[in-house]
Amino acid sequence: MCARMREELLAFVSRRGTLLEPAAVEYLLSQQDPMGPLDRFLASCSEVPFVVTLQDVVRAADLGRNAAIRTRPAVSMSSAVQAATVTLVMPASFHRQGETASDHAPDVKILRDITGRSTCEGTIEDFTRYFRNRFQTLSRMLRSRRELGGTQEISKARRSTREVRFIGMVSDVRATKNGHRILELEDETDRISVLVLADSPSAAETFVMDEVVGIVGKVNDRGLVIAESVVRPDIPVTRPFRGIGEHLRAAFMSDVHVGSTTFLDEKWAKLTTWMSSDDEVARSLRYLVVSGDVVDGIGVYPRQDEELSIDDIYGQYEALSKMMAGLPDHVSVVMIPGNHDAVRPAEPQPALPAPIQKLFDSNITFAGNPSLVSLDGVKVLAYHGRSMDDFVSAIPGMNYHRPLDAMRQMLKMRHLAPIYGGKTPIAPEAEDHLIVEDVPDIFVTGHVHSVGVDTYRGVVLVNSSTWQAQTPYQKMRNIEPLPARLPIVDLASGQAVIKEF
Ligand code: D5M
Ligand code: FE
Ligand code: ZN
């Protein structure tokens, strides 16, 4: 039994491409689940280490024992919620652990956004610099991946007769009539065609323009690379949710569309009443993240004036300001803009301008789109989500009702809006702010007027509903919104629920 376990453990280690210190082997064999701590340790590494030590596995085993109690319900809870996104799911256990937010001072920090740091003028040079920065940043992430050790520049790789590894930006994707796909990849030296065969392990991968990928493959005699595997920058394999010590909570909303005739004022009134009530979850809400399209705006689409109840942009923000002032004081608000708001439409968008900010109380933090913010140390990546329009057009099977699929793709590609030249306007800043540099604890989007929560590799995913009923435009495009749902995340456990109003 023990010999077999040893064999299995060593086979596991070798499959993962690392070595195990002899003392670590003995330690793991003394554990109930020898593979568990090792798996957890490897998952926490951004690249596979050369040797795993005794200390590594002991620490991972301890962490696992402590985290298991906290993380397990989070994962199972949130998948249940995703399956039933339209119902109010609030288990008794979620209630019991409430702590009162009014006892705690809020701690909001903007860790990263474009506000005040925009440099671009939109010249050709700006675009060249922007794409070079995107390529370099993402290829740096890819090069640290074990599978891509020894990558070559494309100009060198194309002359090789052995296995080659290289990194490139996708400049074309097409399907052949036999269902294979041909990618054109470019780096700073050259460009090359890559064939992804329909029966290869990478056949299920989807590709979009301008994303950066790594390829392992062989060059055939016609200079075409036959891909053996495709490597995405991605985020490290599952790590436990890095929560805070207390069960304080953050709620998420977006697409309030104040000023639209279809804004749901009765639902909003219910939300306000509940948030100010004695309900334990309501009382434990410390933060509210509002992810864009906070008002309906003016002239955003043709004949919008026919669908506006407030046809003045300041009037719209003033109305929103009153609504926000009606929420309880123990809730601190973070607000980013979306494509309907009064800032430049090109992403990254800066925070709402000062004259608009002045209309609001001081407990609101205005940040750009996207932004990485820290709420009591929990890192939240908030992005309105315009690029989902492009994901839906580019990837077969993706649709407006499954925003979490697009969000998972963004994390895999480590980019919020890879496709250039589609519906998402992108400003060519010196640095690509749409790259997911830091792995967040919570990743939130809005825009599609749907709702959902889930986890991906330990990151809590939230898509944050709308407070607007179906508009004539959405009806024409068959978009059925799921309005007036409030996702709420426990900042201690990462457990997420959706409350419906
Ligand atoms: O987006 C509201 C909904 O409409 C959302 O599901 C996306 C969809 N939408 C918005 N603009 C477009 C374009 N240009 N093409 C396709 N679908 C779109 P909102 O940003 O609130 O108007
Ligand atoms: Fe919207
Ligand atoms: Zn939008």
Instruction: Using a cut of 0.85, tell me whether the model's pTM lies above it.
Output: no
Pocket of ligand 1 contains residue 423 by CB under 6 Å:
yes
User: Given the DSSP bridges, would you call strands 51-52 and 19-20 parallel, antiparallel or unpaired?
Assistant: parallel
Can you give the C-alpha Rg of the chain in angstroms? Answer: 24
Whether 76 shows a pLDDT value over 50: the answer reads no
Pocket of ligand 1 contains residue 293 by CB under 6 Å:
yes
**Ligand 1 mutation pick, 369, 391, 477, max ligand atoms within 8 A of CB:** 477
The pLDDT, as a whole number, for residue 84 is 29
Other Cβ atoms closer than 10 A to 302: 8
Whole-number Å distance, alpha carbon 343 to ligand 1 midpoint, is 17
Pocket of ligand 1 contains residue 113 by CB under 6 Å:
no
Burial of 266 (0-12, 13-18, 19+ CB in 10 A): exposed
20-45: pLDDT as tens digits? 877 788 778 877 778 888 887 777 76
Helix axes 35-44, 22-29, angle to 10 degrees: 130
Percent of the chain with pLDDT over 70: 90
Pocket of ligand 1 contains residue 479 by CB under 6 Å:
yes
Helix axes 22-29, 54-83, angle to 10 degrees: 50
- State the pLDDT confidence band at 79, using cuts at 50, 70 and 90: very low
Whether 50 shows a pLDDT value over 70: the answer reads no
**Ligand 1 mutation pick, 449, 466, 475, max ligand atoms within 8 A of CB:** 449
Pocket of ligand 1 contains residue 469 by CB under 6 Å:
no
Indicate which atom in ligand 1 lies nearest the CA of residue 450. 6
The C-alpha torsion from 421 through 427 and 433 to 436, rounded to 10°, is -10
Per DSSP, helices labelled H in 326-400 are 354-357, 388-394
Pocket of ligand 1 contains residue 449 by CB under 6 Å:
yes
CB proximity list for 452: less than 8 A, separation 6 or greater: 81, 82, 85, 402, 403, 404, 461, 462, 463, 498
Whether 393 shows a pLDDT value over 80: the answer reads yes
Whether 75 shows a pLDDT value over 50: the answer reads no
Mean predicted lDDT score pLDDT of the chain: 89
263-322: pLDDT as tens digits? 999 999 999 999 999 999 999 999 999 999 999 999 999 899 999 999 999 999 999 999
121-134: pLDDT as tens digits? 888 899 999 999 99
Whole-number Å distance, alpha carbon 319 to ligand 1 midpoint, is 23
Rounded Cα–Cα distance for residues 467 and 465 (Å): 7
- Give the residue-averaged pLDDT of 444-448: 98
Whether 191 shows a pLDDT value over 70: the answer reads yes
329-386: pLDDT as tens digits? 999 999 999 999 999 999 999 999 999 999 999 989 999 999 999 999 999 999 999 9
232-274: pLDDT as tens digits? 999 998 788 989 988 899 999 999 999 999 999 999 999 999 9
The pLDDT, as a whole number, for residue 176 is 94
